[in-house]
Amino acid sequence: MATLVGLLLFVALTRLPALLAPKAIDDEQVYSVVATEMLHGGRPYVNAIERKPPLLFELYEQTFRVAGAYNWHALHTVMVLWTLATMALLYLIARRLFNRGTGVWAALLYGLFLLWADYRNLALNGELLMNLPVTAALALTFRRSRSRVRPELILAGGLVAGAFLLKQPSGISALALGLYLLLPSYRVSRGLHWGHSLLHGALLTLGFTATLGGTALWLWQDGILREAFYWSVLNHDVPFGPGSWRFWHGALERGGFFLLSTFPLVLGTAQSAIEGSRDRGLWRGRRAEFTGLLLLLGVSLFGVAASGQFLYHYFLQLLPPLVLLAAPVFDLTWRGVAPSPALLPRRRLLAGWLILSAAIYLVVDTVGIVRHGTPGASAVYVREHSNASDRIFVWGQGDRFTGLYLDAERRPAARYIASYPLTGHIFGVWDPKLDTSNRIVPGAWDSLRSDFTAHPPRYIIDTDGIVQPTTYPIARYPYLRDYLGRYYHAVFRASDGVVFERVSGAGKAG
């Protein structure tokens, strides 16, 4: 009980900056704008466009439906509970494989290193969300079953599909689980034959495909299947892949920072890998599970690299296999019986290292929340000079600019809550000299015209015009340039945008 209370207090303390945050954090801003539109009867991919899968938006909408729109304390409480649930599953897996102490270490390591890098890892983002169903699927797949049929694998496959519907890269974990079920060591350890492995793989696949099929039916009935498939699957590419310097620069720079920031975890995993290579090592009798975790770690690396951006929160996908590999080494080291050669320091130094890491993360997160916790000045102006029924349009790219809709507490006048479909913006690339016009989504400007005709924005906030040199100046886009010049005049300028107000009597011309 004391250990449980300690873990709860640790999570609560280290997430305190988020629990007290006065606004949405990073990616939460974009997802919350979509969810707010859904609360008003709108549909994702139609009334508010974002490229994440539908289950993520559904989770946000239901949170706000229960707790109220713009309730950031409730949203971050969900983040804490989601984290605790994932920790509980990691504890369960590690305890089944080894012992209670290893389970505690698995939970603690996940709760700690989830905070690496900066305050944005406190967000209820897709990576944090997808880790829970992936870990649940892993727990079911590793579970010792009395039945040779193992019907629970249908649920495991469904959970992986659920993870995919929260964030796309998690779908690759199905490959690792499927390969685990085909391992010779899996069959030997359970007294199975090839037929059993094939059956188990089929059940996992059935759960995965049935869940995706059911979701497709739900989206079709809602009339957004085509749009959901386009924005969450087809509208993704890697302009700068492994053949480019941009890709490797991001991989080396941010991957190196991840290794440095989580170095105790890296050492524990390396020690575990050494032990796993020995016939009489730490993983003796658990060869299949050791290989399965290595497979999961390997495919997760592909998930991190999938977009070529290597953002900090992408690395969170690596944590479940890393902590499960490292936890038994931490447990042995803590008990003073570490395997040789010992890569982790002894108990006192190890404790100090982890405490220092937690303290640094807490300071960095607190500073980040404080620095980015103030509502945008342009949005505050709009909120104070408009009515709740007024719509606004924000021209710009980036979470904090999309978040101006939330700061203003006003609904978007157009489906494009970020400007990338209208500009062809390449995510992760800000180069005013780079022509991205060939990447503009076909028909996007016609759709913007239609949206403005249906509900003209009372205010337009130009966030791109305040940056010099500007990347996507409004003057480059004839329709928006002429629309702004004909119907609007500048009324306010701040560090985050120029506010244009619709001229009285301008009507609804689009």
Which of 351, 369, 387 delimits the end of a domain?
Answer: 369
Same domain, residue pair 224 and 365: yes
Residue 340 lies in a domain: yes
Portion of the chain with pLDDT greater than 70, in percent: 99
| Residues 456, 178: Cα–Cα separation, whole Å | 51
Q: Which tens digit of pLDDT belongs to each residue from 63-120?
A: 999 999 999 999 999 999 999 999 999 999 999 999 999 999 999 999 999 999 899 9
Collapsed DSSP state (helix, strand, coil) of residue 139: helix
Q: Please report whether residue 55 resides in a domain.
A: yes
pLDDT score at 506: 66
**Domain for residue 247, yes or no?**
no
CA distance 466 to 354: 42
The total of other beta-carbon atoms located within 10 Å of residue 396's CB is 22
Q: Check whether residue 347 and residue 394 sit in a common domain.
A: no
Tell me the two tokens of residue 408.
């203003």
What band does 145 get if pLDDT is binned at 50, 70 and 90?
A: confident
Phi, psi at residue 500, to the nearest 5°? Answer: -115, 135
Looking from the CA of 304 toward its CB, the CA atoms found within 13 Å total 23
Per the domain annotation, does 510 fall within a domain?
no
493 pairs with which residues across the strands?
Answer: 498
**pTM tops 0.75, yes or no:** yes
Among 337, 369, 401, identify where a domain stops: 369
Confidence of residue 508 (pLDDT cuts 50, 70, 90): low
User: Is the Cα dihedral 64, 65, 67, 70 positive or negative?
Assistant: positive
Are 345 and 474 found together in one domain? Answer: no
User: How does DSSP classify residue 346?
Assistant: P
Q: Is 80 domain-assigned? A: yes
Same domain, 20 and 110: yes
pLDDT band per the 50, 70, 90 thresholds, residue 510: low
9 exposure class (CB count in 10 Å sphere: 0-12, 13-18, 19+): exposed
Burial of 355 from C-beta contacts in 10 A (0-12 / 13-18 / 19+)? exposed
Q: What is the DSSP letter of 79?
A: H
Helix, strand or coil, per DSSP, at residue 320: helix
Q: What DSSP string describes 431-470?
A: -TT---GGGSPTTHHHHHHHHHHHS--SEEEESSTTSSS-
* Share of residues in the chain with pLDDT > 90 (%): 86
Q: Kindly list the strands in the beta sheet with 391-395, ordered across the sheet, starting from the edge strand earlier in the chain.
A: 411-412, 391-395, 459-462, 497-502, 488-494
Could you report how far apart the first and last alpha carbons of the chain are, in Å? 64
Residues 355 and 286 occupy one common structural domain:
yes
The reply to whether 483 falls in a domain is yes
To the nearest 10 degrees (0 to 180), the angle between helices 287-305 and 126-142 is 160
Measure Cα distances from 319 to 146, 250, 402 in Å: 30, 19, 29
- Domain end marker among 320, 340, 369: 369
Same domain for 83 and 227: yes
Indicate whether 105 and 211 sit together in one domain: yes
For residue 451 the two structure tokens come to 């949206």
Cβ neighbours of residue 408 under 8 Å, at least 6 residues apart?
A: 376, 379, 380, 382, 383, 386, 392
The total number of structural domains that make up the chain: 2
Q: pLDDT tens across 221-256, in order?
A: 999 999 999 999 999 887 888 888 889 999 999 999
Residue 252 belongs to a domain: no
- Helix (H) / strand (E) element for 348: namely helix 347-371
Residues 390 and 365 in one domain: no
Cα distances (angstroms) measured from residue 388 to each of 5, 313, 499: 44, 34, 17
Q: Which helix (H) or strand (E) holds 399?
A: helix 399-402
When computed from its CA atoms, the radius of gyration of the chain, rounded to whole angstroms, is 25
User: Is 119 among the domain residues?
Assistant: yes
Same domain, 321 and 382: no
Packing angle, helices 126-142 and 152-164, rounded to 10: 170
CA dist 365 and 25 (Å) reads: 11
Domain of 454, in residue numbers: 377-502
Q: What is the mean pLDDT of the chain?
A: 94
Residue that is written with structure tokens 């890569």 in the block: 343
DSSP strand pairing (391-395 vs 411-412): parallel
pLDDT in tens, 278-294: 877 899 989 999 999 99
pLDDT in tens, 330-372: 999 999 887 777 899 999 999 999 999 999 999 999 999 999 9
Q: Are residues 329 and 408 in the same domain?
A: no
**407 plus 326 within the same structural domain:** no
What is the C-alpha separation between 364 and 337, in angstroms, rounded? Answer: 34
Residues 351 and 442 in one domain: no
Q: How many residues does the chain have?
A: 510
